[in-house]
Chain A
């Protein structure tokens, strides 16, 4: 699994280098994701096991990794200041609206026959409901 971690870091480093060299607006890690995706997609059905394990470990804690930056929201609440009412209305309103629009269009455009199957069978076999 150490090799897979090393490969993840190499991809991130390459992404970061491309980001800086060409002043791209896409962040280095997102470019790294595309690089790794291109490499692995040559054989999509056989992603090497170490990559699957490394990704499982990291993605299981993806939420944790957002916490240090997230605490910055509390530290910077003063930025919102006097305009908190319009900001709050716009934040909640536009988030809810665009969630519904994205999900509804996707739901409508995808083959409905497979929807029920997809909805309730996660990979671990446990039934998870959207509740």
Chain B
């Protein structure tokens, strides 16, 4: 378990780091996909099977593809290659800020007792259970989620489509 953890963590970290540092946009997205995979792996490790599958389906299957589409549509100016990153004030101040936050959070984690909890071997969550919950206790958020997604769909279409119509 521990080995699996370390390997998957390494993969995840690698993917994340690559995603924010690579110059080529498509490479960034591919690294992102790697990252998503790593996260999915962690979910499986944590015995949240359904969630892992959902992660792969949605994030890799939909979000990453969406990002790729966006990159394609905005390609004319930037190309797949982004310009050289300038390591100026903005870069350092941004990095410093993030580092500060990270350090603080890590320090907080270290201090807390809760962190010492060990792994458990409880049974997995079954998909049947989750399904039942969705239509009984959680039916309202479920439906609300449906509405939200519909709204997002329509909104995205409206925002992205407008120019096209006008150009005609």
- B is a partner of A: no
B residues within 8 Å of A by Cβ?
A: none
